[in-house]
Structure 1
Amino acid sequence: MNQIPVKDVTPGKDNQTQSYDLYAKREHIYVKYYKGFFKNLRTGAGFVMLAMFFTFSWIQYDGRQAILFDLPNRQFHIFNVTFWPQDFMLLSWLLIILAFILFFVTVFAGRLWCGYACPQFVWTWFFIWAERITEGDRNKRMRLDKEPMSREKLLRKTAKHTLWAVIAILSAIAFVGYFTPIRELVPNILQLNLGPWELWWLGFLSVATYGNAGWLREQVCIYMCPYARFQSVMFDQDTLVISYDEARGEKRGKRKKDSDFRAEGLGDCIDCHACVNVCPVGIDIRDGLQYECVACGACIDACDEIMDKMSYPRGLVRYTTEHSLNGKPTKLLRPRLIGYFAAVIIMCGAFIYVLSNRVPIEFEAIRDRGALFNEVSGNLIQNVYTLKIANKEQVERVYRISVEGLEGLRLINEPEVRISAGELLDYPIRLQIDRNNLSQANSAITFTVETVDEPKVSATTESRFMGPTPGR
């Protein structure tokens, strides 16, 4: 029961049906330390991401945290721009743009995001580094796990899990610091003065980081991440993927460095399993493209190192395309790639235009529902309104209010108001007009609010002015 038939496609073996337990216990993957170009590239990208994640919350801008997602006040601050709930469409638009960029990159070069920028794998490599410096490299870790508990094993395991926990806790603090000002959060942690919201998320994120990067690792990518499942539909024969050159590598086999392996019918692959030992998801790239592969390039670096030692040409495992492996020309520009690129350019251009022309004022006029109108002395008709004015900028502004639509309509209030940065002001006003100027009982009017020092920054809203039916 619970068996799935799996066809073994390993080159050099007869195809045969095997069964693997669907609920088999996970086998721990011991990743071997290695060096190479793609590792340096991935380490550099990971270092930049970690540096940004841990430091950006500490940057100050104009007297406050530069990047702060202030949920209680419903304001997202990103340097000099503040997003409000009314700007949710812009956030949705941005997420769609990022999705199309991911699609474009995937069509062009496979799962580069997974191998070089995905937070799950950035932290996984971070935890693997902590594992290596506390327990040693692959072979030493394997021996250590097989040994009975001893003083040395206890110390090494304790050191590893302590370092994992420290990294997880610091990561949680850095993340929560984007939602609670980090310069307030850290002192509150040291003083054990945390609210339930901060305490919950610090605990949850610490446990999640410790579990995902320390224990689950590749299981998150294989079973939990949906990208691994649908990314293959974006691949074509011209997509750059990591591949094993079967025509050059087969037949595999051990040999001495200077032996005439061609005469023995062998290919360039010496079957050393170096590519398998460095793979963070534990696959054998020689079995062909697999959805578990995260395109990190570890197998390329490991294989190139072996090829150098054997004085063979590099590239037995490399980034290539299916067409290139089959001796056909690779088409870099193809309709799907061009389509994604055009969509990204158009959406980015439109997003930048909308963002640059975004009016940093939210303005709404609500008429008093308690009375249609009031008759005041002097044959005047009065309507009462509440103006809701939100200053979406990060500096205090003075706004001038005006109204038009009816001849002789007057604002019986101070026309200028001062609103602090990020403040939402409810400003009650009264409008009066001589009843002889009313030609109908329900008239359209337009409110305008503009900054005194920069009149181009303005917003308008429509409302209605109610009065008696003419002739009554």
Structure 2
Amino acid sequence: MTTATPIPIKIYPRLTSGRFNTVRVLLVALTQLVFFGLPWLMWNHRQAVWLDLANHRFFVFGATFWPQDLVYLSALLMVCAFGLFLWTTLAGRLWCGYACPQTVYTQIMLWIERLVEGDRKARMKRDAGPATFERTARRTLKHTLMIAFSLWTGFTLTGYFTPIRELLHALPTFDFGPWEGFWILFYAAFTWILAGMLREKVCTHMCPYARFQGVMFDNDTLIVSYDSRRGEPRGARRKDDGATARGDCIDCGICVQVCPTGIDIRQGLQYECIGCAACIDACDQVMDKISAPRGLIRYTTESALQGHYPESEIKRRMMRPRVLVYSGILLTIFAGSIAGWAMHTNIKMDVMRDRSYLTRQTDDGLLENSYILRLTNTSETPRVYSLSAEGLPGLKLVGDQTTVKLGPTATETIAVRLQASPDEVPKGSHTVWVLVRAAGDAAPVLREKTRFFGD
């Protein structure tokens, strides 16, 4: 990886067009449609995606996740991590260039800036000139629109945790709760600062991904590259060149002007490159104008660029050891998560011993241990369950409530006792199970282990 060129204090990315820019715009639209649209979807008379932290439950369409389901969150985080590792090994920083929130929101802020202040040349000329009323007015309008968009973003994010229709109802009077108001302003402020003010500096100086990406790159990783064998020696083409041999690069500098981080890709791979392909689109347009083949700057690998194998050979890149390892880990996590979800039940139960005593003898001469059961119906339909116990001969579960009616996503705490004959229970501690059966079913849907103490 070569040393990067000095980055100017302020970068004015030139607007470009092309196939990769179209993909980037479509992904901006898609990600924002999902982000801003999901909180407004309804499911079973509630918000379809609602992270209800106050009541310790997450609603994701028809699924309800409780603290006991933390394993699925862990699996999701591992999938995201290893998925990013796999994607980086295969295709470099395409995530950064197309779908990273910093890139997406920076792109939106640049659209607002171009709308208010004009194209690259107009912005540079205005910033280099004296302070005028027009410049002040344009900047004020620009930041007003950026802050308004940031507030909308913060409002939407908070809507995933507090139902967004409640927030909308409170919006005219700003009657938000203290935490809702804090997070709306907090997220809005950071959106404006990071995407509207700092922009590429977040990618080049603050994002750790840019620093350790080189560890996951090898000669078969797909990256944005300049073909120096074809492009050099670079220089403008003139009629009087005669027999002077020149490469396809005319040294127009447009690839630098369109780069959102201000680097020159012709100097080789640099950690500031986010793989957005703006330079590819720009260079392809120049090649079309001079009647040269496209692809002077393109997505390729170091090995292919050096002629070690054809660029169209996909199998070589896919069968690398690190690709296979990351893929195997991802498949294992996916398979485990799917299997775990397929076997999960709609009832959760915690069994806690009553610590006021270990064991006592009833009037009937039976040994008795006391327990507190906390049962939760994780589904959104009411359910009826019956309780029993097993693990010792003649063990029975008694209490005021051995049949439990649970409403949708409701939790019930009940006291029960386990009783057994002293003749059937040796001294010491014994493993027993509390069973939960759905009404009318013979097979238990849940078995929770606990301890029963004899004399």
TM-score by length of 2: 0.93
Size of the aligned set, in residue pairs, is 448
Summarize the alignment of residues 123-138 of structure 1 with structure 2, pairs less than 5 Å apart: 123-138=105-120
* C-alpha contact (below 8 Å) 2:435/2:444 kept by paired residues: no
Residues 1:416 and 2:403 aligned together: yes
Residue 143 of structure 2 aligns with which residue? 161
In structure 1, the residue corresponding to 2:284 is in which secondary structure? Answer: helix
Distance 2:140 2:51 in 1: 36
In structure 2, the residue corresponding to 1:57 is in which secondary structure? Answer: helix
Using a 3 Å threshold, how does the CA distance of structure 1 residues 239 and 262 change in structure 2: closer, same or farther? farther
Structure 1 residue aligned with 2:412, among 404, 412, 425?
425
How large is the RMSD of aligned CA atoms in angstroms?
2.2
In structure 1, the residue corresponding to 2:243 is in which secondary structure? Answer: coil
Distance 2:377 2:323 in 1: 42
In structure 1, the residue corresponding to 2:251 is in which secondary structure? Answer: coil
* C-alpha contact (below 8 Å) 1:110/1:235 kept by paired residues: yes
Letter paired with 1:314: R
Letter paired with 1:247: R
Residues 1:277 and 2:257 aligned together: yes
In structure 2, the residue corresponding to 1:356 is in which secondary structure? Answer: helix
* C-alpha contact (below 8 Å) 1:261/1:267 kept by paired residues: no
Residues 1:289 and 2:275 aligned together: no
Unaligned runs of 5+ residues in structure 1 are 1-5, 11-19
Residues 1:389 and 2:371 aligned together: no
1:455 shift after superposition? 6.4
Residues 1:459 and 2:441 aligned together: no
Deviates more, 1:171-180 or 1:259-268: 259-268
1:233 shift after superposition? 1.3
1:105 shift after superposition? 1.2
Alignment identity in percent?
43
In structure 1, the residue corresponding to 2:187 is in which secondary structure? Answer: helix
Distance 2:170 2:437 in 1: 41
Residue 122 of structure 1 aligns with which residue? 104
Distance 1:61 1:297 in 2: 39
Structure 1 residue aligned with 2:216, among 234, 249, 252?
234
1:179 shift after superposition? 1.0
Using a 3 Å threshold, how does the CA distance of structure 1 residues 427 and 28 change in structure 2: closer, same or farther? same
Distance 1:136 1:308 in 2: 26
Unaligned runs of 5+ residues in structure 2 are 311-315
1:190 shift after superposition? 2.2
Residue 207 of structure 2 aligns with which residue? 225
Residues 1:338 and 2:324 aligned together: yes
In structure 2, the residue corresponding to 1:72 is in which secondary structure? Answer: coil
TM-score by length of 1: 0.89
Distance 2:188 2:346 in 1: 37
Letter paired with 1:464: R
* C-alpha contact (below 8 Å) 1:408/1:433 kept by paired residues: yes
Distance 1:360 1:35 in 2: 51
Structure 1 residue aligned with 2:69, among 59, 83, 87?
87
Distance 2:335 2:261 in 1: 38
Distance 1:82 1:240 in 2: 39
Residue 177 of structure 1 aligns with which residue? 159
1:362 shift after superposition? 2.1
Residue 225 of structure 2 aligns with which residue? 243
Residue 145 of structure 1 aligns with which residue? 127
Deviates more, 1:280-289 or 1:381-390: 381-390
In structure 2, the residue corresponding to 1:105 is in which secondary structure? Answer: helix
* C-alpha contact (below 8 Å) 1:359/1:457 kept by paired residues: no
In structure 2, the residue corresponding to 1:254 is in which secondary structure? Answer: coil
Structure 2 residue aligned with 1:319, among 288, 291, 299?
299
Using a 3 Å threshold, how does the CA distance of structure 1 residues 371 and 334 change in structure 2: closer, same or farther? closer
* C-alpha contact (below 8 Å) 2:153/2:188 kept by paired residues: yes
